[in-house]
Amino acid sequence: MIARLLAAGLIAGIVAGLAVAALQHVTTTPLILAAEVYEAAQHAHDAVAEAGPAFEGLRRTAATSVATIAVSTGYALILLAGMLFSGEAIGARRAALWGACAFAATGLATSLGLAPQLPGAAETDLAGRQIWWLATAAATGAGLFALLRLENVAAKAVGVALLVAPHLFWPTPATPESTVPAELAARFAAASLAVQALSWVLAGLLAGYVWRIISGDETEAA
C-alpha cells in the first residue's frame, strides 16, 4: 500500500509539476520579473541587465521547476493519503474533485484575506499571516469535508460555521508602502490562483489515474 502510494504520488507529481512549471514560465514568472524591476527603483534596468545573463535565467527556471515538481508531488501524496484515510474509492475523477476542494481550502479561501503577493508588495506581519492562513485552510478543509461527506444535519451546520468563521477575523492590515502597481499585483494574484488550482486538480487527476493502473484496475471508480 505504501509503495503504491509513493509510486503514484511521485509519478503524478513529476508529470503535473512539469506541466505546471511550463505554465508558470509564461504566466507568473514574467510578472515576478516585472515586479522586481519596480522594486529595484530607478537603477532596476541597469541592474537587471548586468545581473541577469542567460545562465542566470536558466538556473532560476530550473530551480523553480524542481520546486514545482516537489510541490505537485506533495499535493498528489496528500490527496491519496486523505482518500485512503477516509475510505474513499480512488479514481481519476474523484481525486480531481478532492484536488479542487483542497484548492478551495488552501488557495481560494485564504486568498480572500491574503492574496498572492509579488516582490515589493505591501505585507502584513509574517506571524499573523501564517497563523491566519493555517487556521483558514484547516477550517475550510474541515468544513468542506463535513458538508460533502457527512450526512448529519448538525455536522453540516458545523461545516458551514467553519467555512465562515475564519473570515470574521482578518489578518493585520498591510502597510501602505508598495512599489508594485495595483494592476500588476491583481494580474499576479489571478494568475497565481489559476496556476494553483490547476496544480491541485491535475495532481489529483494523475494520482488517481496512476493509482488505478498500479492497482491493476484501469476502470474509473464511480
Which tens digits make up the pLDDT trace of 186-222? 899 999 999 999 999 999 999 999 999 998 765 554 4
pLDDT mean over 126-152 = 91
Q: Does residue 173 form part of some domain? A: no
Number of domains in the chain: 1
187 found inside a domain: no
Per the structure, the complete domain to which residue 39 belongs is given by 2-103+203-214
Residues 48-77, mean pLDDT to the nearest whole number: 79
At residue 122 the predicted structure's pLDDT band, cuts being 50, 70 and 90, is: low
- pLDDT (tens digit, 9 = 90+) per residue, 156-196? 999 999 999 999 987 766 565 666 777 888 899 999 999 99
* pLDDT the model gives residue 23: 94
Instruction: Tell me how far apart the alpha carbons of residues 192 and 43 are, in angstroms, rounded to a whole number.
Output: 28
In this structure, is residue 36 part of a structural domain?
A: yes
- Please, what is the end-to-end C-alpha distance for the chain in angstroms? 21
For residue 6, tell me if it sits in a domain. Answer: yes
Nearest-angstrom CA–CA distance, 107 and 115? 9
Give the helix ranges, DSSP H, for the chain.
2-26, 28-39, 44-51, 54-86, 92-103, 109-111, 126-149, 153-164, 182-214
Task: Quickly tell me which residue has 478532492 as its cell.
Answer: 98
- Looking at residue 117, its pLDDT comes to 83
Average pLDDT over residues 102-117: 92
Task: For residue 179, give Cα distances in angstroms to 119, 125, 182.
Answer: 9, 18, 9
Mean residue pLDDT across the chain: 85
In a domain, residue 114? The reply is no
d(CA 16, CA 51): 31
pLDDT on residue 176: 58
Q: pTM (2 decimals)?
A: 0.85
Sign of CA dihedral 13, 23, 106, 203: negative
Identify whether 193 is part of a domain: no
